[in-house]
Amino acid sequence: MSNNLVNHNLVDIDYKEIIYELRPCLDYNGDPVEGLNNAWILLNNPKQYN
C-alpha cells in the first residue's frame, strides 16, 4: 500500500456555478439527526434565471 495522496477530482477546474451543500436531516420534530445529512447539488445558471 502506498502512502502517497491521490487526487480523485475529475478536473482541475473549480466551478462556481455548481454548488454542493450538506444539510442536516431533520426528524419529525424538526431537530437535526446527528450524523445524517442530505446532499444538495445546486446549478447556478443566471442566463436561465434559476
Element (H, E) at 19: strand 18-26
Q: Which residues of the chain have pLDDT under 50?
A: none
Which residue type, as a one-letter code, is found at position 22?
Answer: L
Q: Within a domain: residue 10?
A: no
Q: Which three cell numbers stand for residue 16?
A: 462556481
| C-beta of residue 29 within 8 angstroms of C-beta of residue 44 | no
Q: Within a domain: residue 32?
A: yes
Q: Which three cell numbers stand for residue 43?
A: 446549478
Output the pLDDT for position 18: 85
Output the pLDDT for position 49: 67
Q: Within a domain: residue 30?
A: yes
Domain coverage including residue 39: 18-48
Element (H, E) at 38: strand 32-43
What's the alpha-carbon Rg for the chain, to the nearest Å?
Answer: 17
Q: Within a domain: residue 41?
A: yes
Give me the number of domains the chain comprises. 1
Q: Within a domain: residue 25?
A: yes
pTM beyond 0.75: no
Output the pLDDT for position 11: 78
